[in-house]
Amino acid sequence: MDARLNPLDSPVATKALKHIIAANNALADSTLPSATQELVRLRASQINGCAGCIDMHTKEAAHAGETSVRLNLVAAWREAKVFTDAERAALELAEQGTRIADAAGGVTDEAWANAAKHYDEDQLAALVCVIAVINAFNRLNVITQQPAGDYQPGQHG
């Protein structure tokens, strides 16, 4: 499969991507656990059907020590016993934040309150930003049909 467009060949897209990548990199310095960040990125990417991001975040999480059991169960996290209550709250917020168009009113007060029980204000801010940034990457990749399967951990720095 060939991509419709290579964003890195476009000066306009490259300039915009530089800012999205910088926003993503800033999240690495947050106190939101990196494992939670990767699980959220993976779940949003699954919902959006972004093969490139699913490939990347599955491999990055595994490389960082995440188990295959947890990675394989992200899509069915509600029924899986392998996630903490805090991770469940983050995954719920990620799902609702990704499916804004499907839910009149967006993220429910219940989902927000549940996340707020487990994360402080800075971590909530990071969680919201992780959700927003991965959705931006997902849309870029899905619209341009970026192929997946050959990502190597650390490939993008």
Res 109 pLDDT > 80: yes
Does any domain span residue 94? yes
pLDDT of residue 157: 67
Alpha-carbon span 28 to 37, nearest angstrom: 9
Structural domain boundaries, residue 87? 11-144
Average pLDDT over every residue of 137-157: 87
Task: Give how many domains the chain has, as a whole number.
Answer: 1
Does any domain span residue 82? yes
- Residue 5: band (very low, low, confident or very high) from pLDDT cuts 50, 70, 90: confident
Average pLDDT over every residue of 66-76: 97
Res 72 pLDDT > 90: yes
Closest CA relative to residue 41, chosen from 59, 17, 63? 59
Does any domain span residue 79? yes
Alpha-carbon span 6 to 145, nearest angstrom: 10
Res 61 pLDDT > 80: yes
Average pLDDT over every residue of 84-97: 97
Does any domain span residue 150? no
Alpha-carbon span 103 to 105, nearest angstrom: 6
CATH of the domain at 82: 1.20.1290.10
pLDDT of residue 153: 85
Closest CA relative to residue 60, chosen from 127, 157, 144, 140? 157
Res 92 pLDDT > 90: yes
pLDDT of residue 156: 76
Does any domain span residue 6? no
97 compared with 8, residue with greater pLDDT = 97
Res 103 pLDDT > 90: no
